[in-house]
Amino acid sequence: MSHEEETHQEQQQPVIEKAPYAQLEIEDGTDEQDTALPPPATASPQNSRAKLSATAIIPVWIVLSSGVIIYNNHLYNALQFRYPVFLVTWHLTFATVGTRILQRTTNLLDGSKDVHVSKHMFIRSILPIGLLFSGSLILSNTAYLYLSVAYIQMLKAFTPVAILLISWASRIQDPNRKLMVIVLMISCGVALASHGELHFNLYGFAVQAAAVAFEASRLVMIQVLLHGLKMDPLVSLHYYAPVCALINLAVIPFTEGFAPFYDLPRIGPLILISNALVAFLLNVAAVFLVGAGSGLVLTLAGVFKDILLISGSVLLYGAPITPLQVFGYSVALCGLILFKMSGGK
């Protein structure tokens, strides 16, 4: 799945009850895009599902979440398969098939029985949120063509600020002094990290900023349109993957054309299938992560994952980071932790 798909998955957002794994980056995504596919509403673990301890599932989640980003970056830059729209569409198609197989063979998607999507709900809620989700995934993956993994992770720290600004502008939530201080901390930290970036690319920065805006808008729209509806990551994937796949498929002719299809023999089926499988397994791991630990524990796990990912980017790809970036990102992370401890209020 796309990076934002990890999505993607990683920090509780203001106003919106977002599961902590969905974006302690929150693609990504979802980065996520960080990151895997984030849930469109509060995660609701099923009683019939086996529960794993935090010490067992958090390391698995960290490995899979980091693995999705590194694998996608390897495809884009090392293997020169520079077709993010196609790759996101492939991940979503794989997820569409995978969730339906799991629905028929396991109890992991039992939560879908409690979600009834009418035609009105689809047109009014699922489709517009899917459009924003597709935009977030495409843009966040495109950014990896121009920016380093380390710098993108730093930029993703701005996501909660974007959500707060949109929530305040739409009067879903009222600003207060404590949140203003947190917004200032995160904003200054990201600004310092950007100022210290040695290989700054304005186009890549604009693309990632747009991805953050799409993701923030999606999460705010979820709060408005799907308030109270409970979906875990796999149930969310079950409904959104086919919608987003069709949207992306309609975009490919106008962005990448037939080029990715001509390049498929060079990449081979093994790489494509294994890449999509890692992204899909991240969503499965996210289901078990729900309720495995407190919100603060999962937030700290996400921060630890980001630090590992940035360090790995430096070691694997030789991406340079400056002391100013380290300081700026540290300030932003402190703001994120304070935001989590405050409950976003």
Q: What is the residue-level pLDDT of the chain in tens, covering all 345 positions?
A: 554 454 444 443 344 333 332 333 333 334 443 433 333 344 444 444 556 677 788 899 899 999 999 999 999 999 999 999 999 999 999 999 999 999 999 888 887 877 777 788 888 888 999 999 999 999 999 999 999 999 999 999 898 899 899 989 988 888 888 889 999 999 999 999 999 999 899 999 999 999 999 999 998 888 787 766 777 778 888 889 999 999 999 999 999 999 999 999 999 999 999 999 999 999 888 878 766 666 667 777 888 888 888 888 888 888 888 999 999 999 999 988 888 777 666
Whole-number Å distance between alpha carbons of 171 and 144: 34
Task: Give the Cβ contact number of residue 288 at 10 Å.
Answer: 22
pTM above 0.75, yes or no: yes
Task: Give the Cβ contact number of residue 269 at 10 Å.
Answer: 9
In a domain, 149, yes or no: yes
In a domain, 47, yes or no: no
Domain extent for 305 = 54-342
Q: How confident is the model over 287-313, as pLDDT tens digits?
A: 787 666 666 677 778 888 888 888 888
Looking at the structure of the chain, the number of domains it has is: 1
Q: What are the two backbone dihedrals, phi and then psi, of residue 83, each rounded to the nearest 5 degrees?
A: -130, 75
In a domain, 38, yes or no: no
In a domain, 251, yes or no: yes
In a domain, 7, yes or no: no
In a domain, 264, yes or no: yes
In a domain, 8, yes or no: no
Omega before 30 cis (within 30°)?
yes
In a domain, 117, yes or no: yes
